[in-house]
Amino acid sequence: MAALMPEQIEHFQNEGYVVVEQMLDPERDLKPIIEEYAGVLDRFAGDLYAADKIASPYADLPFSERLTTIYAESGKVDAQYFDFSLPQRGVTHDTPFWAGPAVFAVLRHPGLLDAIESLIGPEIYANPVQHVRMKPPEHLTPKDPTTGLPQLGASPWHQDNGVVTEDADETEIITVWFPLTEATRENGCLAVVPRSVEQGLLTHCPSGPGLHIPEQLFRADDAVPLPMRPGSVLLMHRLTPHCSYSNHSDHVRWSFDLRYNPIGQPTGRAAFPGFIARSRMQPEAELHDAKEWRRLWLETRALLAERENPSFNRWRTEAAVCA
């Protein structure tokens, strides 16, 4: 069992987050993911090369340099190709995503589930709000021609409760964030504002990079940077304001963020497939098959491609605080 210690639970409850060191083993748990994504990058590079978008697949380059070079030469950051979720709009039959066995294995990692069980109990649902983040160096990242901003840069201040639909406002969603490469202040680690949960859900304003909370609504000056090494895991309350810094290094900052909630509670992404990750009451209901998990996403993509995509965003620019 990797259940949280009482002091870790207390820290989570009081501060709205807790970092657990060495929960994952970089060699056993993270290396298979890194190796799996090397194959994904091979296919991505091959597709772009075949379409004459890049002059070479750059197969001789290390992963970080290869991805950055491909993004720079193609002029586009195509993060969706690597993600294990679908986008919120514009889903087609060909929308790329990656739902591989190494990713599925970490979603069901016993240590992660033990820690989650310490916070929400043993009936655990893997929420479909889940992403891989490969943040390239900003000085090497293609710019958005309409804004002049990097196509993938710093993440603005937000709460994870703010990026799901209203039906999940009372759902006990726990965010699990962990780096696959070292996350530092220079390359864009996360920052959180402790002891902010009592403020409740704050207004989020639509903007170019996504939703953001206006800084007059919370104590941004109290932000705590969270540099983390591979193997460390951040557990975060759904109402904790957080952001990521810009990547000013020369290497990709690579991380996963996952969500879990009690079985039966709304996920805030009703159109997307989650699964039962752990159930002490009905262990036979747990999903153990990575191929079935991928099939669920393929089926969802096919359904969404044939109809208007649902709205995932409750926020409007007309809000007075967004002016």
Strands across the sheet containing 155-158:
155-158, 242-244, 190-192, 224-226
Q: pLDDT tens digits, residue range 179-233?
A: 999 999 999 999 999 999 999 999 999 986 689 999 899 999 999 999 999 999 9
Residue 178 maps to a domain: yes
DSSP at 199: G
Residue 123 maps to a domain: yes
Q: pLDDT tens digits, residue range 135-172?
A: 999 999 999 888 888 888 889 999 999 999 999 999 99
Residue 316 maps to a domain: no
Structure tokens at 310: 């649902």
Nearest CA to 116 among 255, 286, 258? 258
Q: Which CATH number covers residue 143?
A: 2.60.120.620
Residue 315 maps to a domain: no
Decide: 97 and 80 in contact? Cβ < 8 Å: yes
Decide: 315 and 162 in contact? Cβ < 8 Å: yes
Per the structure, the complete domain to which residue 287 belongs is given by 16-307
pLDDT tens across the length of the chain (323 residues): 579 999 999 999 999 999 999 999 999 999 999 999 999 999 999 999 999 999 999 999 999 999 999 999 999 999 999 999 999 999 999 999 999 999 999 999 999 999 999 999 999 999 999 999 999 999 999 998 888 888 888 899 999 999 999 999 999 999 999 999 999 999 999 999 999 999 999 999 998 668 999 989 999 999 999 999 999 999 999 999 999 999 999 999 999 999 999 999 999 999 999 999 999 999 999 999 999 999 999 999 999 999 988 888 899 888 889 97
